[in-house]
Amino acid sequence: MTSQDVILGMLMKRGLTGYEIKHLLETIFSYFYNASYGTIYPTLSKMEKEGLITKESVLQEGRPNKNIFTITDLGKTHFKTYMNSPVLADEYKSDRMIRLYFGEFVEREVIISSLELDLARANEELERLEANYKLWQPTMSPTQEICIQIGIENTATLIQTLTNGLNRLKHIAEEKGDE
Amino acid sequence: MTSQDVILGMLMKRGLTGYEIKHLLETIFSYFYNASYGTIYPTLSKMEKEGLITKESVLQEGRPNKNIFTITDLGKTHFKTYMNSPVLADEYKSDRMIRLYFGEFVEREVIISSLELDLARANEELERLEANYKLWQPTMSPTQEICIQIGIENTATLIQTLTNGLNRLKHIAEEKGDE
DNA sequence: CATGGCATGTAACCTGTTACATGATTCC
DNA sequence: GGAATCATGTAACAGGTTACATGCCATG
């Protein structure tokens, strides 16, 4: 799974610009993938050279011209090859979790306020995912729905676990304060 | 958060060899971090040159010699700087999720059997995490416990969501079969 | 006698990010 | 007047993986 595979998948439905691809990544894909412009544009150029996609330049008034990329038959073949290749293990690197894991080496308050920030962010993320779900549900395929449900339910669980963890940590902090 | 920060954190408790670091990553850290030997050994060399850690070679009989690395005061300072730096966003790239998202472009059975594999793996992972929890709980710090609880609860939630999703997909498949 | 555990290390490669460069228009 | 949106692109760099190289011992 490289950015190329993900972009090909996005183009299976309709032609897109690099800018639109980035926007999609930030909204619907953000839960399980992302890429910067520094990846997207060079990848699109490379794919065009290889004949996986074609470029159509559209002149616009009052705003920059744009390049709409459309998948070719060769591109579709490549995408299907990807979809039938062995599934790779998830890549997950969490700075939040690392710091929590090593929490014993910093002051308790640092950890507590960090967890509180995580909790606030998780709540925002949950709202965002639920808003997305309501917005796009009518046009989503069944498997897309499962994707967003996984995102929503995992975030809801995270909120629960963080809340429980915070309560326990605060409890320990109070006990220590009583000594 | 680079591998250096994680390794420094691991060495805060006791000296370790590269091999032991890899083992720890695969067992307790696997839920939120990992690194290959190709990262670990060069990073350890670099850290030694920079004076963050010291190397002690231990000759062994019947098995290869090993290098035990110990954190220095400079290393501890670096670790604390990391722990007080701004938290980075999680990096999560999931091939599983990408394929599920684009599931409409392949045969339903491919998706169903893929989800069934995911479910089986999630069950194994849950068992592994729970076994770890039982094994290490007595020696875990409160924040370490929260880490493993997050892992366990998220995995349990994933199992639920996958089960629900599978049921719905099979239902749709049956309806289609009735046409 | 083969597999897995113990143990270290390098070189070639891949993939991606960050920061920079440009510039008009619309909304607050 | 400043920020956000639309829109594309590059160069330098960072950070990592994979495959290879080595080799003994214990277990089945």
pLDDT (tens digit per residue) in A11-42:
999 999 999 999 999 999 999 999 999 999 99
The B 32-91 residues near strand C by Cβ under 7 Å are 37-38, 41-42, 44-45, 60, 63-67
Separation of CA B123 and C1' C11 in angstroms?
A: 39
pLDDT digits (tens, 9 = 90+) for A105-128: 999 999 999 999 999 999 999 999
Q: Is B85 a residue whose pLDDT tops 60?
A: yes
> For residues B19 and B11, is the Cβ–Cβ distance under 8 A?
no
Q: Where are the alpha helices (DSSP H) in B30-107?
A: 37-49, 73-83, 95-101
Token pair, residue B150, equals 């997050």
Looking at residue A13, its pLDDT comes to 97
B36 three-state secondary structure: coil
> Which of the nucleotides in strand D have any atom less than 7 Å away from a protein CB atom?
5-12, 14-20, 23-26
Q: Flag whether pLDDT at A177 surpasses 70.
A: no
- Chain A nearest CA to B145, separation (Å): 8
Mean pLDDT along residues B89-94 = 95
Does the pLDDT at position B52 exceed 80? yes
Contact between the CB of A142 and strand C at under 7 Å: no
Inter-chain touch B93–A32, beta carbons under 8 Å: yes
- The CA–C1' separation of B129 and D27, in angstroms, is 27
Type of residue numbered A118: D
* Phi and psi, residue A84, nearest 5°: -105, 5
pLDDT of residue A62: 83
Nearest CA in chain B to A112: B143
Check residue B177 and give its pLDDT: 67
CB-count burial class (<10 Å; 0-12, 13-18, 19+) for A79: buried
Residues B44-51 have a mean pLDDT of: 97
What does the pLDDT look like over B100-140, one tens digit per residue? Answer: 999 999 999 999 999 999 999 999 999 999 999 999 999 99
| Lookup: nucleotide whose C1' is closest to B39 CA | D16
- Shortest alpha-carbon distance between residue B39 and chain A (Å): 15
A85: pLDDT confidence band, cut at 50, 70 and 90?
A: very high
The rounded distance, in Å, linking the Cα atoms of A2 and A82 is 10
